[in-house]
Amino acid sequence: MRLVINVATPDPRLSAVRALNRVLPGKGDGESLREVLRDFPLQGSDGGQMRDICFGVCRHLRPLNHWLNQQLSKPLKASAQPVRLALLAGLYELWFSDRPAHAIVNAYPQLCRKLKAPWAAGLSNAVLRKASQITIEQAVADAPANIQLSLPDWLFKRWQKDWPDDADADAMARANLQTPPFTLRVNRQQQQRADALSALGEGARAGSVAPYSIYLQPARPVFQLPGFEQGALSVQDEAAQLPAELLQAPANGRILDACAAPGGKTGQLREKFPAADLTALELEGKRLARIRENLARLGTDVTLLQGDASDPHSWWDGTPFDAILLDAPCSATGILRRQPDVKWHRKASDIAALVDLQARMLDALWPLLNPGGMLVYATCSVLRDENDHQVRDFLQRQPQARDVTPRPEGATMVDAGWQLFPEQHGPDGFYLACLRKESGARLSS
C-alpha cells in the first residue's frame, strides 16, 4: 500500500495579501516589495499571479483606495489592514486582470476566512460584486488627477513644478502605471546584437538609444533565454545601459564603479573594457555579495571594495582613476513602474537628504579622477534637484569640470546632462551627465 501525502498548494492571493501587509502597513514604513517577494518563492502561474497582484495594488493604490473608501459606511480599523488589502487585491484583479470576474468575486470571501476575519466575508462579496459591474474609469471619474494617476500629492506637485507642461507630468504618471517592458543587454564579448535578436526570435526588437539593448515581448523566464546562464544576456533597462556605454576610458585604464550594487553596470563595464583595472565599490557587504554573484554568471570578476563613496579616505589607495561611474542613491522616481511601492515609501522630506548625499559623493570622488578623465553621474530619478540642478551646482563648484554629455537632438532641454522620461514601450525615467576633468586640473589628495 502506497502512502499518499497531500501537500497544500500555497494560495497566491493569500500570499499576495501577506506580502502586501509587509510592504503597505497601515502605519509606519513598509518593507521593499522586491525584498519581501524573496520570502515567497511561488513558481509558475501561481507565482505570476501573486506578483501581479502585489505590483498591481502598489501601482494603482490610490484609485483602488479611493473607490473602496466610498463604499464603506465606516472606516476599517487599523487591525483590519489585511482585510483592506484583500479587498484592494480583489478590486485590482477585477479591473486590471483578465481573470474571470465570477471567480474573483467568489475567491475573496474565503480568503477573508483564511485571514481569520470571517466577519469580512459578506463585505468582500458585496464590494466585489458591485465593482464587477463597473470599470476603473467609472469608479474614479470624478476623482482628482493625482488620485486617478495614483501618485502621492507631494510627488505630483513636484513633477508639475519641475516639468510645468501638464502633458509631461501626466505622461510620466501614465507611463508608470504600465507594466514595464522586458529589456536585455547583449554581452558584446560573446555575440552581436543582430545574432541575439535572431536567437530570441519573434517578439524581440532592438532598442533605439543603447546599442546593445533588446526589448522582448512577452517577457520570458531568464532560464529560457538562449545563453543567459553563460552570461550572453543580462536583464537591464535600456536607459540604465547608457552610463556605462557613454563612459570613456583607456582600454587598460583604471575605472571605479561607485555605488555598484547589484552589479549590472559593473558587468557592463567589464564587457566594454575587458582589459581595464576595474573596481566596484559598495557600502553594504550584503549588496557586495550580489555583485559577486552577478559577475560569476558573466564568468568574470573585478576588484570589490566595501566602503562609502562619500568618504574615500576609508578605502582609496591613493592611485587615481581614469574614469568613475557614480550611479548615485536617489528617489527612484523614474522607475516607479518597476518599483511601485517606492511611491508610498518615499517622502517629500527625503529629497533634501538625498540631494546632500549626492553632492557629497560628487565632491568626494572628483579629486580621485585623473586630469583628462571622465566621471559619469547617473540617477533613476526625474526630479531636477537630484539631476540637472545637482550637476549645475557641481559645475559651479568645480571650475575644471566640463559637461560633455552627448545629448541627442530632441531631448528635453535641461541645465546640464541628459534627462530621459519613462516611455510606455521604451526606457525608464533616468538621468546622466558625462563630466570631463580638464587636463590642466591637478589631482587632489
Q: Are 33 and 58 in contact, with CB atoms under 8 Å apart? A: yes
Three-class SS of residue 306? Answer: strand
Asked whether 283 and 256 are in contact (CB, 8 A), the reply is no
- DSSP-derived 3-state class of residue 178: coil
- d(Cα 427, Cα 418) in Å, to the nearest integer? 13
For 234, the 3-state DSSP assignment is strand
Length of the chain: 445
DSSP, collapsed to helix, strand or coil, labels residue 311 as: coil
CB-based contact 169:156 (threshold 8 Å)? yes
Active-site residue identified among 58, 112, 380, 434: 380
Consecutive H or E run containing 75: none
112 an active-site residue?
Answer: no
Paired with 93 in beta bridges are none
CA count, 13 A, side-chain hemisphere, 321 = 28
CA separation for the pair 116, 172 (Å, rounded): 40
- Nearest partner of 219 among 186, 193, 195, 183, judged by Cα: 183
CA–CA separation, 127 and 124 (whole Å):
5
Confirm if 187 and 232 have CB atoms less than 8 A apart: yes
- The residues pairing with 216 across neighbouring beta strands, listed in sequence order, are 182, 204
Angle, to 10 degrees, between the axis of helix 101-114 and the axis of helix 12-23? 60
What is the dihedral angle through the alpha carbons of 184, 216, 387, 269, rounded to the nearest 10 degrees? 10
| CA–CA–CA angle 265, 270, 273 (5° rounding) | 120
Catalytic center residues: 380
